[in-house]
Chains A and B, each alone.
Chain A
Amino acid sequence: MNPIETLDSPGYDIPPEMRGQVNITTIDRIYNWSRKNSLWPMMFGLACCAIEMICTAASRYDFSRFGMEVMRPSPRQADVMIVSGTVTKKMVPQIVRLYNQMPEPKYVVAMGACASGGGPFKEGYNVVSGIDKFLPVDVYIPGCPPTPQALLHGLMTLQKKVEKESIKTSRWYSRRPVPPIPVPVLGPDLMSPAKFEEIREYTRKLAEEQAQGVEGDQSTQDAGQGGAA
């Protein structure tokens, strides 16, 4: 599509003699148009999907055609975080920290089944069931792994989302700054600081049950005791 057409804002009459020379648009449109064509992804790979992401950046699929070729290893220079692969509990504090370091506006793409919802490894004890437990995800791309073309489709879906945003309503420009996401802590298991109260309630109940010798839910009872050394 001709970029000018996407920019052109209907509703304003341009005299016929000036068509093609003058365009009337809204701030939102021109701002989003420039943003969506220079989304810089962060150079950050987690697992198998990262290889497909590299392939997308390489010769055959070449996402520099979308203005995305500048993959930055530093979060401070990136707009999009492509969470490409299985998010493990050991890694999630770092991912949250990276997200907090990204400048706004920032987007998260969950690439593949693992990043969306845990994927085939969901049942694993060290796997987070989807990065959206911690970060706000904008686009989910199913597939294991999504092929490069599927990733490109996902990135185009993100571009469409960017296009529809408005400066007025976007959370980046609200008067109150968006607070950083609390970094999860590695305890006996992964702990999200927002859930401390819930965790305490749960472990208290467990302890009570244990004291009474009540056989509660098998799956939770046996959990912690396994192979305590």
Chain B
Amino acid sequence: MNGMGVLKGLAVTFRHFIDTYLEDFKAGKKRYFTEEGIRQRASIEAKGIFSIQYPEEKLPVPEEFRYIPFLVYDEGENGERALRCTSCGICAKVCPPQCIWIVRTNDPVTGKPVPAPAEFYIDVDICMNCGYCAEYCPFDAIKMDHNYEIASYDRFKEHIFDLNKLSKPASYYAKIRPANFARETAEREAKAAKKAAP
């Protein structure tokens, strides 16, 4: 019969509409603005309403999530910063749009290169968030950040990230990527132990 197809289709949309209220009723107050609620609505079991109400609710990003790169530094006992970067230049060479700029430090006396960057820049207006720099860094010194809330009013002042803006402590890295951090630390320690053994 003509019109049945349309009616059946409308039943589907009506079902979606009803589901929201059914789920609300089932889950009670914890459905919104709680971690559990967000997880439930973002999961495969989600039914009815699907929205995550940013900024009050934020969809958690997975560990591998990548945005702009940052440089990791280890904190010493007195709070001094030891950048892991040795300015070997692999990240600058592998970067597909060539948005990484590194000035190597030279020893003022001998003029020989010192394994630390004097300057380090990333032009985020060119960066394509591909993650190669983090993937191929042999020193685990550059990693991809999770922070995506970096909109600004002026790109000329703010969009070339310098050493200061890029550096973040290892504890921050451990927080956003716990599994990767644990694996890399274990690997490094194993290597160090191996070196110390003979």
Contact = CB atoms under 8 A, between A and B. Distances in A.
Contact between A and B in the complex (any CB pair below 8 Å): yes
Interface of A: 59-62, 65, 110, 113, 116-123, 130, 132, 137-144, 146-150, 152-154, 156-157, 161
Nearest to A119: B126
Interface residues of B, number: 30
Query: Can you list the 9 inter-chain pairs with the closest CB atoms, starting with the nearest?
Result: A117-B125, A154-B151, A120-B97, A120-B128, A150-B148, A59-B50, A142-B124, A157-B151, A62-B51
A120 B155 contact: no
Given A122-B97, A150-B148, A153-B148, A116 B155 contact: yes
A140 B126 contact: no
Contacts of A152: 54-55
Contacts of B124: 113, 142
Contacts of B129: 143-144
B193 interface: no
A88 B127 CA distance: 18
Nearest to A145: B129
A3 to B, nearest CB: 15
Contact of A113 (B55, B125, B151): B125
Given A152-B55, A154-B151, 11 more contacts: A60-B50, A113-B128, A120-B126, A122-B97, A139-B153, A140-B153, A140-B159, A142-B150, A150-B150, A153-B148, A161-B153
Contacts of B50: 59-60
B152 A65 contact: no
B145 to A, nearest CB: 11
A223 to B, nearest CB: 20
B149 A140 contact: no
| Most A Cβ at <10 Å: residue of B53, B58, B125, B152 | B125
B59 to A, nearest CB: 6
B151 A140 contact: yes
A154 B153 CA distance: 10
Interface string B139-151: 0000000001111
Interface string B45-70: 00000111111001100000001100
Contacts of B97: 119-123
Interface in B122-179: 123-129, 148-155, 159
Contacts of B42: 60
8 contacts: A59-B50, A60-B59, A116-B155, A119-B97, A119-B125, A142-B124, A149-B58, A149-B59
Identify the interface centre among B54, B58, B123: most chain A CB within 10 Å of its CB.
Answer: B54
B126 A118 contact: yes
A141 B149 CA distance: 9
A113 B125 CA distance: 4
B96 interface: yes
B52 A138 contact: no
A211 B81 CA distance: 58
Contacts of B67: 143, 147, 150
A153 B151 contact: yes
